[in-house]
Amino acid sequence: MNQMLQDAPQNASELQDASELKDSPETIDRPPDPAHPRFAKPQRVAFVQSSWHREVVEECRIAFLAEIAARHISNVDVFEVPGSFEIPLHAQILAKTRRYTAIVAAGLVVDGGIYRHEFVADTVIKALMDVQLRTEVPVFSAVLTPQQFHESAAHFEFFRKHFAIKGIEVAEACANTLLSLERLRGQVAAGIM
């Protein structure tokens, strides 16, 4: 806060210089950030990501953290597991702690190893849904399995960008669901439903 006060214009001539800068052609007028609703109670989210293809999956986490903060959720704990197959067990243990209002999973499942990637992806998604239904803690998935993935620079770049988009989308889904559940649980507690 002191830094902000020190940087503020101190007199009329500085204010005039600041207004000239604002009106200069180099200044870009940006649309205001969208106003996202606030929560009645603090939210805490667990983000569980696989370390397999970390350089791709981390783009999801980075985008998620930026978007979820814009939606007034700043309490996010990040956990890393070896692969996507390990995510559901971690999600279940985290959900059972009751410390988290939501859990987000992120991973990239590709062909290789002893399991077929479709089997792993289906198993992970089903297990995450089971965790959600058993614990009533919403679980969101950004566990993706592309039809084709090659260990090439072009594919890595494409999927890094794709995971950044998915990070924003999963943050939006997480925040909107938590708002909806907060309203619903409030109505149930008040006897409205």
Domains in the chain: boundaries: 44-189
CA–CA gap between residue 123 and residue 88 (Å, rounded): 9
Ranking 9-23, 29-43, 48-62, 80-94 by mean pLDDT, the lowest is 9-23
What class is the 44-189 domain?
alpha beta
Alpha-helical regions (H) of the chain: 2-7, 12-23, 54-70, 87-96, 117-135, 153-189
Specify the DSSP element, H or E, that contains 79.
strand 75-81
- Indicate which residues carry an active-site annotation: 116
Q: pTM here?
A: 0.76
Q: What is the pLDDT of residues 122-174, one digit of tens each?
A: 888 999 999 999 999 999 999 887 656 556 677 678 778 888 999 999 999 99
The residue among 96 and 31 whose pLDDT is bigger is: 96
Across 143-177, b (16+ Cβ under 10 Å) vs e yields bbbbeebeeeeeeeeebbebbbebbbbbbbbbbee
Which positions make up the binding site for 5-amino-6-(D-ribitylamino)uracil? 52, 84-86, 108-110, 141
CA–CA gap between residue 81 and residue 92 (Å, rounded): 13
CA–CA gap between residue 94 and residue 88 (Å, rounded): 10
CA–CA gap between residue 151 and residue 135 (Å, rounded): 38
